[in-house]
Amino acid sequence: MPHYMTEHCEILRNLFIFLDILLYNGIILYKPVFVFLQDNMGGGWFRYMPVVGFESLRGEIPKLTENFAGIGTREIKDNGIEAIKKVFETNFGVYGVTG
């Protein structure tokens, strides 16, 4: 395998380990874990609850604490950008995203 591919695979592996640890810690410590599904047909915000699993917020905006962590995507769609703007406006009174 060429060196650049080995390096790229190592970066991806470390990223997946980081995401796994972040989600695991959020779930194991009973912290709310919110996910925005960018699907045009049935997307929206979902919350992970330890006993229930994932459930739809049915149009509600996630309530964030002052110390929150966020993870994004390289392929954000218009509905994803709008969702993030609404989260920042609802929780902090500002638009935290430019796009």
DSSP bridge pairs for 36: 45
Domain ranges of the chain: 1-29, 32-99
State yes or no: pLDDT of 92 exceeds 60.
yes
Summarize pLDDT for 9-45 with one digit per residue, the tens: 665 565 566 566 666 667 777 777 888 888 776 678 8
State yes or no: pLDDT of 61 exceeds 90.
yes
The pLDDT score that the predictor gives to residue 18 is: 56
Question: Own/partner pairs for 65-72, CB < 8 Å, 24+ apart?
Answer: 69/22, 69/26, 71/19, 71/22
| Greater pLDDT, 33 or 90 | 90
Question: Quick check: 39 and 77 in contact, CB under 8 A?
Answer: no
- In 3D space, the residue among 59, 39, 75 whose CA is nearest the CA of residue 47 turns out to be 59
The pLDDT score that the predictor gives to residue 75 is: 84
State yes or no: pLDDT of 87 exceeds 70.
yes
CA distance 83 to 75: 14
